[in-house]
Structure 1
Amino acid sequence: MTDEEIGLIKAMLAEGIKNDAVHFYFNRADRLLSSGRITQIKQGKYGAAVPAASRAETAAFIADWKCRQLAGAIPQAAHPTDAATVTALFELIEGSWALRLGETDKAECKLGFRLDPLDRFADVIRTIAGFANNKGGYVLFGVRDGTRIAEGLQGNAFIDADPAAINRALIASLDPVPHVTKTTLVLGGAQVGVLYVEPHDHAPVVALRNISDCVKEGAIYYRYVGETRLIKPGELRQIIASREQRAVAEFSQRMMRVAGGTEATLNLDTGAVTGKAGAFVIDRDLLPALQFIRQGDFSEVKGAPALRLVGDVEAVDQQERDRIRIIRDAVTPDAVVRNFLRGEVVAHPDQYLHAQAHGSNKWLPIWYYLRQANMAPQLMVAELQGRVATHPSSRDAVVRRLQQADSALKVHPGRPAQLRDAFARGEVVAPTNVTDDLRFAYAVMGLLPTQQGISQFKPLLLACLDRAQGQDASSGNRRSAVYRAACRLDELLHG
């Protein structure tokens, strides 16, 4: 058992939950747990040094467990930016919410937030680089470092901050660019801003420029317990060793795909391209014009590594060139969602999945197109992992969903939860304004498999999407909500 599970068990036992009931939460088909283990934990004979989880962590675990049972989903970890997950970082002490463990190697406190000028954001950029080079983590705004108390943010600077502006600041300062998710949390009336930093797949992240006294050009920062500073040799060796291991694993997988017939090899001396199903030859006069270049800036998103082919190479005929152009031009995030909501049959449905590895949107329908392509999920996973992705994190998000390790299901409290309950009773009212649109999309995200008439939500979501075509932040938030809601319908109808 993990220390986290032991801590949860201790907390549940302390709240008076009986041993057999606690055992029910942790016993699984793939990990049969003796009921005697619960007794050993209660008596302090097993995991005695592990601290009990907080009430917030325990409540979040139980709520997530119940949700998984209702949805019939495979057990999965909550997303790091889910409200319950972030709330579990805090505990209620004498009427105030405090960061449970203070600043750690995964949490940094900032009382205020300011993005412009860049000098005022330099310390945050340094912290983001450190988290990306380690295990990821949270930058929490509105939390005082010394007391750990969530005092809340003053003004709307964080709420109004455009995620694209934050990303532009990172693009100008770090390479490769870390992936950061922005969200907010209200604790006891105090508004806390959250930037969650994912661990980077291609670390180390390096500073590109000098920014005040915090960030130095060429420096590699690393998050240690309670502080971000220049990386030590030991941690740098670990990063390099990890990259080497991934490179060896990727090479082995590619050789297996070549042996299995899903990929071919190119002989640069003869021009022969050979695969299990057949072969063709590139003209020897063309070979000197071919260059395979490791490119760091393949598209608009700086820092997304890709392999770029430069030379006099084009599709074999006009029909093939047109097909590629149509796929590249037409498969936009909006097209992926709209074609699903309209129920349209598309040409080359597999490309609607591949396109999702080259954009920043992580919530787009997949099962609808997989069924049209008549492909097994495992085959699509192998294809996605076997190709270079402009946005590796987006590609990995699609892979997790294809493997049923992640779901678009998200239950929003308050009005969206009330709407979802009304849907379950057959009371579905079409939203008519932008305020209703957001609540409606949030409610659809929480639909359960027991919901009747799921298809009726598709035209209603399409109308919400039509009203969210502005360039302002509010329209962007509504589009994101509609995209994830469409994913939930896709799971329920075709997953």
Structure 2
Amino acid sequence: MAKQRNLSDAEIGIVKAMLRKGWRNDVIHYYFNRPDRLISSGRITQIKNGKYGASVEEAQPDELETFLSTWRDPKGKTPPAPSPVDLRTLRSLFVRDTGVWRLVGGETDRIECKAGFRLQPEERFSKALRAIAGLANNKGGYLLFGVTDATYQADGLSDDVFTKSDISLLNRILAGALDPIAHVTKGLIELGGKQVGVLYVEKHDHGPVIAIKNVGQDVKEGGIYFRYVGETRLVKPGELRQIIAAREQRAVAEFSARMNRVAIGKEATIDLDSGEVAGTSGKFLIDKSLLPSIQFVREGEFDEKKGAPALRLIGDVEPVSEVERERTRIIRENVTPDAVVRNFLRAEKVAEPMQYIHFQAHAQRKWFPVWFYIEQAQSTATDVAEDLRRQVATYPSSRDALVDRLAGKESAFRQSTGKAEALRGKLARGDIKAPIDVDEDIVFASAVQALPATVKPQDLKSIRAILLECLDRAQGTDPRSSNRRGAIYRAAARLDELLYSKK
């Protein structure tokens, strides 16, 4: 039988770091108790109460991360881990001081404070957006709202905007401003009757996270932000080299793991020059003339007929450039109205365009781009209409309206009046200027809906890009934003008709 053993000073320091993060005693005990070295669960309590290892210094955050990354369970079990927004974890960040709650240690390279929170308009969120990018590019960490950054006092949020904000809206803003997208978890804690909003940002494993557009005065297109102690700023060369080096190391590790799977026979390789598919159990040859027409998909399967293995090939594809391949988006689940319109406005290829068409039979709104997806599906309006008639639609009226559009019985065109009519004339003549605020967005969208078929293709592309900016400004949950989105959706549907329906 294994004997009870003591923890080393280094391990005590790790335990203290875990306690600081609010981890439960039983979770911490899991990491140190082994069959060959039993550690009493009471030992963790003694460390917590300062009765054991009181003179040992707490481990630094990077030391804890190193310990966790190298820790292995001999039984292969996954250790329990607390949520980063667990109330005990969040409470451990603060200490009660003379009647008020303050952030322990102030702002660090893992914690940034903001007094208030605003998600809309997007410019009001620019400082927080920069902080999110900076944390994702460093170690990850917390963005705290309702904490004064000068005193680190938890003064609380002045309203309920944070609590009522939809995390999906936040994710849409992140997706529109950062690439790759930072992963954020939302939390809330009450301290002395005051609420503090929390956004926990994960360290991105495939950084650097880069800003892909200007947002307010704080986020600039192409900027790579990094969280330093007490500030978020553009990354310095040294830290950028570290991010790139870590990415290269992961890529090498992933490649080595893939090659190991090939070596042990779990995966095969294909020579795109010869068409030879080879594995440890054998090989076969694909005719070179078939290579350009093969679509390799995860859902592909091997089937057997009369004892002869056969590769199931789905559809035809045409070779694309590296730039186009980077822009391809594979979306099979949770197609949203925003995605249908946004992918069209960005001219993005999708892996399953019919899913974007089928979605329109299940959406209450009736105006979405469709010809763009028909072209990607390499289908015809007649075939798509027949396919839609066979669909069990959530909103039959939406499906029937779409079928009428495909038959040429209905159009997204709508005559404009007033300011929109004056603007329509300018757009038709190639005098194209982007709106500067949300009030002008609705006028612009109305003018686009009335565009004639004589507008030049290059002008339509310019209008397409501007319409995407209008959509970015219409992401609020209020009725006015919803109305603007409706107008923008119909304008996008009109552009879709002008660009693709005649093809």
TM superposition score normalised by structure 2: 0.49
Q: Which protein shows a greater Rg?
A: 2
What TM-score does the superposition give when structure 1 sets the normalisation length?
0.50
